[in-house]
Chain A
Amino acid sequence: MSNLKITNLTKRFSEVLAVDNLNLEVADGEFVTLLGPSGCGKTTILRTIAGFCNPDRGEIFFGDKIMNNIPPNKRNTAMCFQSYALFPHMSVWDNISFGLKMQKISRQGQKKKISQVMEMLGLEGLEKRKPGQLSGGQQQRVALARAIVTEPKILLFDEPLSNLDAKLRVQVRIEIRDMQKRLGITTIYVTHDQDEALAISDRIVVMERGHIEQLGDPYNIYRNPETSFVAGFIGLANIYEGTVVARDGSRYTVEAPFGKVVIVSDGRKIPEASKTVKFVWRPEDMKIYIQGAPNRVKGKILQAVFMGNITDIFIDVQGNKMRAQIDESRKLIAGDVIEFSIPEDAFSILRG
């Protein structure tokens, strides 16, 4: 059973088409991330689910109930805002109890629930503080507590971690994931941070200019990108075009500008012979060539950046630039000639 269903959602802001005929189904207890660059419509979708934004066309269903005409305060969603949006004049306790008061829950019941949530998020002892007296991480946790304490049908996150520093961001995202798993609340999470999306989601919706580019679990989104936008937006990518010159079962030989490569298709996209195809592989797929390895490419190092665990290398293969990230103990310097191989199954063939 799907907990949230969006059908044919369209929203236009004067000249800009923010959401273009979008369909999405989210299962009960699922964690779905809307990922895309700013202006791709992800926040608009979130605000439409919460009820702050009226769609021009399309429906929002919670379960099998249509929600379009239900005002935000009756939807029983809980949103975590980028700015946290804590009530600055209320104590931490009053902030968290706000939603429960609205649900007319008894004082005793409120107390029990709030204590539970505060303990879960490590907020004990801060009950009487005002938001202005808390650190960024604590404010973020109070916002989270305020949202989950109401036991919402759907939990909505609008870039909740973007105001935290890098270390805290990783820590809080693990907490969010843990908590969501434990409570089993259906969650929609908006972010433009690909690492965050990969780490936290059951499924990722990659969006661009109001439509879905690709929908899938983090592994598939990263390993099998379908378009060059997805390949380029998530992770690093070497993208090339070539002509299919030979085919042997699921193995294709493609004539690329830097030489012939053999690709093993994953079976989803079958390129036709003598057609032009676009394909991608990740920098970390490139290995130092050893005897007998497939897809040998020889190039000159333009730049080698030592990053500790890996070395980030830009190479020039007969005038074609590509990027490799290898785990190599030898020190590499610009001007060295180096030979790589690319595993046949490292490639993904792109739609466009």
Chain B
Amino acid sequence: MALTDSTAETSLYLIQARKKRNFYLLLMIFFMIVLILWVGIPILMAVMWSLVDPKNPWSYPNLFPPSFSLAQWKYVFDYTNIGRALRNSYSIAPLAVLLSFVLSLPTSYVLGRKKIPGKKFFMLVVLLPIIMPGMVVALFLSRVFTAFGLSQTFFGLVLAHTLMSMPYMIRVMTTSFQAIPQDVIDAAENLGANTFVKIRDIFLPMIRPGLLAGMIFAFTVSIEEFNLTFIIGTPTFETIPTILFSFMGYNFIRTNASVVALLMMTPNIIMLFIVERFLKSDYLAASLGKM
């Protein structure tokens, strides 16, 4: 008797669990569709626009361009400095990421692990460059850059991009530092680790997921940075965004803009997938939970 009761209970529980799982599956499918529409359609549109054949314009009521050609791509590569811009963008970005890492590391360490008065205030100050409108920051910062003779220089641009990406870097790394339990650090010291060993063997490996996330942010910010680059860099230095913006405004050329947009976006997406693989090992979750 007792046995049948418990079997009935178990099967009821299983049915409930299955229902719940079905519900989550539906919810997931719904969001996947929304995501595909939201992200996928613009990308698809960009691809189609970039392949429009100038002899056969794409216009209403055609759902797809009547014929495809690489003319727009050829135009962008022939008549703009896109090659140099790509080179500029992809040499500035890694340098900016590196510099922003080096500068953010001590800041994040202190904000994440030390008790200092006014910590909340500092965290807010760090975020200011993101909160303020980009053009406003650029307008006033450019004056500072000019005063130090940094405008129209490569180093100036690296520095500018570093400044714009640091808030993200600091924010993410501070959280990573905060998440490391003090006991783990104490344990290392107790076993004989000095400061150098603690940094090399404990802190750095444990903040690695946050560090990689921060680097992605910083890299993306640098690749996309327009305002400050435009004011202090052009015309000496062109980057992908400055070329992109040149196709906008009063003489808006959607087809060429699409080509540049794709050029800007694709490496970022590839990089995201690569880094995603590194992020797999979930150290912090392992150190905090599942005890």
Contacts and interface: CB of A to CB of B under 8 A. Distances in A.
A139 interface: yes
Main secondary structure of the interface of B (DSSP, over half): helix
B191 A146 contact: yes
A130 B280 CA distance: 14
Contact of A88 (B186, B190, B191, B284): B284
A315 interface: no
B286 A132 contact: yes
B286 to A, nearest CB: 3
Given A136-B291, A139-B291, A163-B291, A87 B197 contact: no
Given A130-B286, A131-B286, A85 B184 contact: yes
Given A85-B181, A88-B283, A132-B286, A99 B192 contact: yes
A54 interface: no
A88 B184 contact: yes
A81 B183 contact: yes
Interface in B138-190: 181, 183-184, 186-190
Given A72-B190, A146-B191, A89 B183 contact: no
Contacts of B208: 89
A72 B194 CA distance: 9
Contacts of B191: 73, 78, 98-99, 102, 146, 150
A132 B188 contact: no
B187 A73 contact: no
Contacts of B283: 88-89
Interface string A73-95: 11111110111111111000000
A61 B50 CA distance: 77
Contacts of B184: 85-88
B193 interface: yes
A79 B205 CA distance: 22
Contact of A73 (B181, B190, B201, B286): B190
A89 B181 contact: no
Contact of B206 (A77, A89, A102): A89
B186 A52 contact: yes
B193 A88 contact: no
Interface in A226-280: none
Interface in A53-78: 71-78
A220 interface: no
Interface residues of A, number: 32
A69 to B, nearest CB: 16
Interface string A145-168: 010001000000000000100000
A73 B186 contact: no
B290 interface: yes
Contacts of B205: 89
User: Which of B197, B281, B290 has the most CB atoms of chain A within a 10 A radius of its CB?
Assistant: B290
B39 interface: no
Nearest to B184: A85
B286 A88 contact: yes
B30 to A, nearest CB: 32
Contacts of B282: 132
A83 B291 contact: yes
A87 B197 CA distance: 13
A286 interface: no
A82 B284 CA distance: 18
A38 interface: no
B287 interface: yes
A85 B286 CA distance: 11
Nearest to B194: A73
A131 B281 CA distance: 12
A77 B192 CA distance: 9
A82 B183 CA distance: 9
Contacts of A150: 191-192
A73 B192 contact: yes
Nearest to B284: A88
A50 interface: yes
A190 to B, nearest CB: 14
Given A72-B186, A85-B184, A102 B192 contact: yes
B285 interface: yes
B186 A79 contact: yes
Interface of B: 181, 183-184, 186-194, 197, 201-202, 205-206, 208, 281-287, 290-291
Interface of A: 50, 52, 71-79, 81-89, 98-99, 102-103, 130-132, 136, 139, 146, 150, 163
20 contacts: A52-B186, A52-B190, A73-B189, A73-B190, A73-B191, A81-B187, A82-B183, A83-B181, A83-B183, A85-B184, A86-B184, A87-B184, A88-B283, A88-B287, A89-B283, A89-B287, A98-B201, A130-B286, A136-B291, A163-B291
Given A89-B205, A102-B192, 19 more contacts: A52-B186, A73-B189, A73-B192, A75-B190, A78-B191, A79-B187, A82-B183, A83-B181, A83-B291, A87-B201, A88-B286, A88-B287, A89-B281, A102-B197, A132-B285, A136-B291, A139-B291, A146-B191, A163-B291
